[in-house]
Structure 1
Amino acid sequence: MKQQIKVRGINLVFDDHGSGEVVVFVHGQPFNRSMWDQQVGAFKTGRRLIIPDLRGYGESSIPSGTTLLDELALDLIHLLEALQITKATFVGLSMGGQILFDLYRLAPQLFHAMVLADTDAKAESAQSYQARLQLADDLAEKGMMFYTAQHLHRFLGKKTMATQPAVVKRLREMMESTNPLGAAAVQRGRAERRDHTAMLPHIYCPVLVIVGEEDGFTPVAVAEGMQQQISGAQLAVIKDASHMPNMEQPEIFNHHLELFLQTNA
């Protein structure tokens, strides 16, 4: 069920489905909470799913300037406090995974378990820092139609692009409907993100690392590196998928997630 709450000066829109063990899904950039639709149907029975639109995205408030990932993590902390949720499994994809690192740094007690999908713990390099700031300017000046036309194919695998027109269409709709000013503010914040690699050996909750085999943003080697540094972490590599395996291969993604949730119930 769609809900809205005032959190830290903004209106935060989120879905609240089912009851039971809490699973919080954190979307990536430049998307919104609907990217998890294939997971809602699979997991809402017997569990409580909390799925927010992060500030700057979807139906939540659109800030200007710079939105740090710390801010997005703090929004989640306050949301869960308002909902009286003290423990959850968190699932974050891409930027969503980067937010989970800041969330764990700030409030590790909230974590029952963590799923890191197609993400990276490292900070930006000097080169990628400048590229991130340039991307923010491009989003604000040229808009999401331009960005989508240039980059959509990078999020999806070759087979997905060739054989799953509905997935391509849905991703395009999400990207094009994102507010460019909100996305630009978060991209500026992502440029400033911390390097969390030193924290990886000190993550003590159960962790599942998922990655699409064709992911060019966060390749399999990056996922393997994180899995090796987090004690007891599991790794799932999904074939015929790139940066959005939860949409490209939802049955396989959901299978790995279900096994992880059952094992760590």
Structure 2
Amino acid sequence: MGRLSNQVALITGAGSGVGLAIAQAFLAEGAKLVLAGRDAAKLEKAAQSLNAGDAVTIVPTDITDPAAVAKLVEQATAAYGKIDILVNNAGTNLKARTMRELTPESWQTLIRTNLDGAFYCIQAVLPQMIARKDGVIVNINSVSGKRAYPLAGAAYVASKFGLAGLGNCLAAEERENNIRVSNIFPGEIDTPILEVRPNPVTEEARKVILKPADVASAVLFVATLPPHVSVPELIIKPTAHVYS
């Protein structure tokens, strides 16, 4: 019996990178999984790599559409009866990210994916967690949600600061319903999002930054703690980098 046996987890942005690594970690501990993401082909490939049969369900979803998110939660609940753990992992960035380069359209792209999408998922899952007086919500943030690093860009930073505030406020509001909310703030991670950096990331730099499995281990730690224990914030960074 794994530590997440009889638990159902909904993971957004689950087709690759950190989302897929979290799925692998949760599955190894006995959880049933609902994987969400925009790209149906990537989700199918991810599910095949997990090779878990009926323990994994994929639901292609655009989380920037509240109606689509409501349908996602309906399908997830219909598949397994409940959602115990929500992992808001979906996120994006753009190459043209400085304040001078941002447009109203590109600003909205980042805010809608990185912040609005998490809100829609929380809003759709929260009623059943409140009814059960139990639930875990993990927001995959970024150290850019703690420090306004120019490298990340103004819109990305704003979206991540907003996500931190959303998580902290939710945790305070729903603490009496035993709903635990954790904001995890990783430093640089070797994932496909690096491909949209304004300047290419060298192989040497990739060697010392976090791997998706590192972040997945942090998420698993939070998700497997006893119900009376909550981790509001967890910062994880490459040893070689400075956090200041």
Normalising TM by the smaller chain, what interval? 0.3 to 0.5
Normalising by the residue count of structure 1, what TM-score does the alignment of the two structures yield? 0.42
